[in-house]
Amino acid sequence: MTTETIRVQLNFPLAEATKPIIWHFAHDWDLKFSIRKANIDSKIGGYTVLDLTGTRANIDAALEWAATEGIEVQVGGATGEDEWVIGR
């Protein structure tokens, strides 16, 4: 199967800051990740910028699931540019 890498920013509101979202990406959707930037505090919330690698179907499913968990998903990461950074 073809894998791709996408850069995303996940914004965690305070109520969702302690959820293991990235763990689920790896274990439930077989995605590899690289944390590019992060600032999360269990008292105020925060964000994480990730490169996610996997099949496009798994990436899409994982991001849709994260949104149902109350996480705001921004494709393209911090700048909104180059969201699909690598295609294999």
- Identify the architecture of domain 4-87 in CATH: 2-Layer Sandwich (3.30)
pLDDT attached to residue 42: 80
Decide if pLDDT at 83 tops 60.
no
Confidence of residue 76 (pLDDT cuts 50, 70, 90): confident
pTM higher than the cut 0.85: no
- State CA 7 to chain mean position distance: 8
pLDDT attached to residue 74: 92
DSSP conformation letters of 2-51: --EEEEEEEEE-GGGTTS-HHHHHHHHH--EEEEEEEEEETTTEEEEEEE
> Rg of the chain's alpha carbons, rounded to an integer?
12
| Mean of all residue pLDDT scores within the chain | 87
